[in-house]
Amino acid sequence: MGDWAVQSDSGIRFEWGPAGAGRLVTGTACLVIVDVLSFTTTVSVAVGQGIRVLPFWLPDGPATTAERTASRKAAASYARLFGARLAVARSAVTPDSPWSLSPAHLRRAPFVARLVLPCPNGAAIAAALSPRALVVAACLRNITAVGSWLTARGYGTPEHPVAVIAAGERWPDGTLRPALEDLLGAGALICDLHSQGAGPLSAEAAAAKATYEGTADLTRAVAAGVSGHELTAMGFAEDVAIATEEDTCTLVPVRDGDGAFAPG
């Protein structure tokens, strides 16, 4: 593909999922991951509590039992390597393992210095990117903080472009399912960056911005979307509510040299 595939000449770019991140990362100064339900929201909660979050890819979709078992063992080994605790699936939380991808669980769980947070979407993107890449975690809770952090450092111009990546979810066959909440979160950040003079926007970024600006009730839209319905049906409506706490977090989680998200 040519330069058109990386949305060249724009200061703010937008794409979906691991493939989109991989395509844009080499041509941008900073890459921002948006996974509203729930990786980057959970990262914002954890980092706000002083926890350093290590992302880890966890398979989703048509993985075999053996593949899932192997992935959990690999995650456990990774956690031991860094002296971290390992988050479990939302439904697998116990008094001995109270940490999960659920931001509500994180708010109630005991403090740990390091936490390995497996996830097939946002965490998978962060874990796959080169250690040299500057990676930021954004969600609806910290849009203004992230936007201000980026523009204060001169990011969001054609010379120092920002790539905003909506993580998306997965269909049962493992393919990318574009997720409304991530489109809205990405659009919110793009809108904030543009209001501070960053740009110009690629056509893709402009479309995400327009979607956010055209959504009258953000909280209702996230809750009514497929992902919001799914979490609510699973008994995790509180996670959806936390994810729509707009601009309540002033911390900017930035991936450090160890691959962990910590305050920027």
Q: Across all residues in the chain, what is the average pLDDT?
A: 95
* pLDDT one-digit tens code per residue, 78-108: 999 999 999 999 999 999 999 999 999 999 9
Structure tokens at 257: 């040299």
List pLDDT tens digits, range 169-223.
999 888 999 999 999 999 999 999 999 999 999 999 999 999 999 999 999 999 9
Give the pLDDT confidence of 240-259 residue by residue, as tens digits.
999 999 999 999 999 999 99
SS3 238: helix
**What's the pLDDT at 63?**
67
Task: Say which amino acid occupies 41.
Answer: T
Instruction: For residues 6-20, give the mean pLDDT.
Output: 95
The whole-model pTM stands at: 0.95
- Architecture in CATH of 3-253: Alpha-Beta Complex (3.90)
Residue 62 — very low, low, confident or very high, per pLDDT cuts 50/70/90? low
pLDDT at position 70: 86
207-210: long-range contacts (C-beta < 8 A, 24 or more apart)? 207/14, 208/14, 208/164, 208/166, 208/183
Q: What is the pLDDT of residue 64?
A: 75
Sequence-distant (6+) residues with CB within 8 A of 56 are: 74, 75, 78, 116, 117, 118, 119, 123, 127
Residue 61 has pLDDT above 80, yes or no: no
Domain ranges of the chain: 3-253
Helix (H, G, I), strand (E, B) or coil at 29: coil
The mean pLDDT of 46-63, rounded to a whole number, is: 87
- pLDDT 10s digits, 123-173: 999 999 999 999 999 999 999 999 999 999 999 999 999 999 999 999 988
- Give the tens place of pLDDT for each residue, 215-235: 999 999 999 999 999 999 999
